[in-house]
């Protein structure tokens, strides 16, 4: 993988069923980035990594930065940003 300007180049890479990445080079957090990420996810439906039935997905999703300010407002004793993790589990 060749890296130019601090960003990876996937030009000759094979094997990924579908990958989309969005960033704001100025570090801004915007709703448009989330909307665009969801649009990418919808457009990757062709990957074929579905379950045995049409209604089950393959677990593909979107990764977002955790909303530390919101969590801290709900749990005032919460530590610093790097002192905890958040997960979502489907059983």
Q: Quick check: 18 pLDDT over 70?
A: no
**Residues identified as active-site:** 17
- Whole-prediction pTM: 0.54
pLDDT digits (tens, 9 = 90+) for 26-70: 989 899 999 998 888 877 765 555 555 666 666 667 888 889 999
Point out which residues pair with 2 in neighbouring strands.
9
DSSP 8-state class, residue 4: E
What pLDDT, on the 0 to 100 scale, is given for residue 52? 57
Structural domain spans, the chain? 2-60
Are the beta carbons of 59 and 66 closer than 8 angstroms? no
């Amino acid at each position: 993988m060749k890296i130019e300007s601090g960003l990876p180049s996937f030009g000759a890479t094979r094997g990924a069923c579908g990958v989309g990445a969005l960033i704001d080079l100025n570090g801004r957090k915007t709703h448009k980035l989330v909307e665009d990420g969801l649009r990418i996810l919808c457009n990757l439906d062709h990957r074929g990594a579905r379950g045995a039935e049409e209604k089950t997905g393959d677990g593909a999703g979107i990764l977002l930065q955790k909303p530390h300010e919101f969590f801290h407002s709900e749990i005032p004793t919460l530590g610093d940003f790097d002192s905890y993790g958040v997960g979502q589990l489907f059983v």
